[in-house]
């Protein structure tokens, strides 16, 4: 992974790319996985896996430059510090595209306990603080009522 850039300059302050865009000649955005108030997350195909030292599919997270709290930079910094440690997504690149910063990282699968997982977890979306609150709510419901409505479901994630 390259060093984290200090700042970006751009002529398009709110631009986040869409499906089909190729970044750095290395990753093609294939499918939007999720969207939030700060940016979007895409599944991308690695066009040159050996050269990029990344697997065939990666997750690319975008954050607009005009957001009040820049969290993607901090997430990238934390991932860089944890590279090689178990249970952390591997990061491949941090850069700028138009009016957004982006992080190319390992695409992670389902995380959590199926019984208490949020809908975002079941849909394979990137998880945040709100998903922890949903899980806590499900635990509290089970604690108070003794069961959950979906406890007998056999569907797997």
Residues contributing to the annotated binding site:
61
Cα-to-chain-centroid distance, residue 89 = 10
DSSP code of residue 66: T
Binding site residue list for ATP: 61
Question: What sign does the dihedral 55-56-59-64 (CA atoms) show?
Answer: positive
Other Cβ atoms within 10 Å of 80 Cβ, number: 14
Q: Containing H/E element for 23?
A: strand 22-23
Is residue 50 classed as helix, strand or coil in its secondary structure?
helix
């Amino acid at each position: 992974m390259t060093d984290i850039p200090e700042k970006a300059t751009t002529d398009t302050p709110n631009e986040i790319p869409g499906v089909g865009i190729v970044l750095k000649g290395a990753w093609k955005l294939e499918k939007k996985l999720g969207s939030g108030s700060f940016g979007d997350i895409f599944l991308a195909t690695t066009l040159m896996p050996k050269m990029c030292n990344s697997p065939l599919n990666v997750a690319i997270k975008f954050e607009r430059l005009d957001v009040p709290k820049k969290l993607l930079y901090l997430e990238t910094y934390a991932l860089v510090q944890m590279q090689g440690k178990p249970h952390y997504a591997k990061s491949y690149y941090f850069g700028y595209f138009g009016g957004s910063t982006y992080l190319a990282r390992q695409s992670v699968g389902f995380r959590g306990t199926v019984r208490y997982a949020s809908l975002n977890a079941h849909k394979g979306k990137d998880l945040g603080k709100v998903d922890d609150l949903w899980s806590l709510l499900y635990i509290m419901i089970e604690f108070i009522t003794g069961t959950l409505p979906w406890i007998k479901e056999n569907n797997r994630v």
